[in-house]
Amino acid sequence: MKNNINLQSLHSMACQMRGEIIEIAHNSDAMHIGSCLSSLDIILTLYHSVLSFKPEEPEWKDRDRFILSKGHASLALYVVLASRGFFPKELLHTFNRTDSFLTEHPVRGNVHGIEASTGSLGHGPGIGLGMALAAKISGNKYRSFVLMSDGECNEGTVWEAVLLAPVQKLGNLIFIVDNNGWQATGRCDDIMHLNPLADKFKTFGWNSFEVDGHNFEELLNIFHSIPVDSEKPTAIIAHTVKGKGVSFMEGDNNWHYRIPTADDVTRAKAELGLE
């Protein structure tokens, strides 16, 4: 199900969803707000304009696969999945509560739309590669999208998958890096020598693009211009801001673990134009 949506609609949904994420995180004592806010616009764009799927038939065999390899941003995915009807929006308020199926790291089978259980970093690339390979073997036309974080690229398994995919000519495999520049305890560049990330992918035999991960026009353009018949897999380095959309969260890595207070929620929603 592809939906031609206009930029203004995406922008308003993004503001609304940022408010929901912050409020739910407050109510459920959940961490990883900064990561949710940096990933949200990418996930939103994919599910509202790029991916093929049928919420009423979640196991539809020709659906595009999306794997949130940075599973700690699950709340952003849940909010978007609910907006597309994979499960009722009311369920969002159970996030991270006792006995809830909306866990801090997504579990396949708990709700529709979760293609793989993730949380430990570096697993999504290989799983997504396996799904892309399955499509190639079976002759299906679906594509496999994996969203990972830049910090996640510390994991050696990411690069094992990067090395394998071009040899298998997996043009249906797309890695998106939420390149917010931060990992759990510091700046990515101060911890591992990741950059120039786009060049690394190119050198490894991938199509490689860079995009502003919060600019819907750029995101739409890049997602819709992924070469369809290419034998090369595609990497999209999406430059993002951790905590995007809320001034006192943007670029402050404390929001990797900090849980918003009631006052934080009020201030954030006011900034987002929601109150």
Partner 1 sequence: MRDSCSRELTCLARSDPRIIILSGDIGNHMFDGFKAEFPDRFYNCGVAEANMISVAAGLALSGYRPFVYTFAAFDLTRCYEQVRIDVCFQNLPVVIIGLGGGLTYAPLGPTHYICEDISILRCLPNMTIVCPADQAEVMASLRSSLDHHGPMYIRINKKNEPCIYTGEPDFSLGRAQLIQDGNDVCIITTGVLLSEVIRAARILEERNISACVVHFHTIKPVDEIMLREVFSRFSVVVSVEEHTLPGGLGGMIAEWMIDNRIKSSDLIRIGTGDYFLTHCLSQKEARDHFGISADLIAGKIADGLNK
Binding residues for partner 1, rule: CB under 8 A, are 108, 115-117, 119-120, 123, 125-135, 137-138, 144, 156-157, 160-161, 163-164, 168
Q: How far is CA 121 from the centre of its chain?
A: 13
CB of residue 94 vs partner 1: minimum separation in angstroms?
A: 21
Helix (H/G/I), strand (E/B), else coil: 59: coil
Q: Residue 25 or 132: which CB sits closer to partner 1? A: 132
Residue 240's closest CA among 270, 202, 212, 273?
Answer: 212
CB of residue 153 vs partner 1: minimum separation in angstroms?
A: 14
Strands (E) in 88-143, as ranges, are: none
Q: Residue 16 or 117: which CB sits closer to partner 1? A: 117
Q: Residue 136 or 258: which CB sits closer to partner 1? A: 136
CB of residue 136 vs partner 1: minimum separation in angstroms?
A: 8
Q: Residue 91 or 164: which CB sits closer to partner 1? A: 164
Q: Residue 44 or 161: which CB sits closer to partner 1? A: 161
Taken in order 14, 18, 19, 23, the sign of the CA dihedral is: positive
Task: Supply φ then ψ for residue 55, to 5 degrees.
Answer: -55, -30
CB of residue 78 vs partner 1: minimum separation in angstroms?
A: 19
| Residues shown for the chain | 275
What's the CA gap between 182 and 179, in Å, rounded? Answer: 8
Task: Supply φ then ψ for residue 174, to 5 degrees.
Answer: -125, 120
CB of residue 114 vs partner 1: minimum separation in angstroms?
A: 10
Q: Which two tokens stand for residue 215?
A: 């600019």
CB of residue 60 vs partner 1: minimum separation in angstroms?
A: 13
Q: Residue 167 or 228: which CB sits closer to partner 1? A: 167
What's the CA gap between 230 and 143, in Å, rounded? Answer: 12
Q: How far is CA 144 from the centre of its chain?
A: 13
What's the CA gap between 132 and 94, in Å, rounded? Answer: 33
What's the CA gap between 174 and 132, in Å, rounded? Answer: 9
Q: How far is CA 115 from the centre of its chain?
A: 13
CB of residue 49 vs partner 1: minimum separation in angstroms?
A: 24
Q: Residue 102 or 246: which CB sits closer to partner 1? A: 102
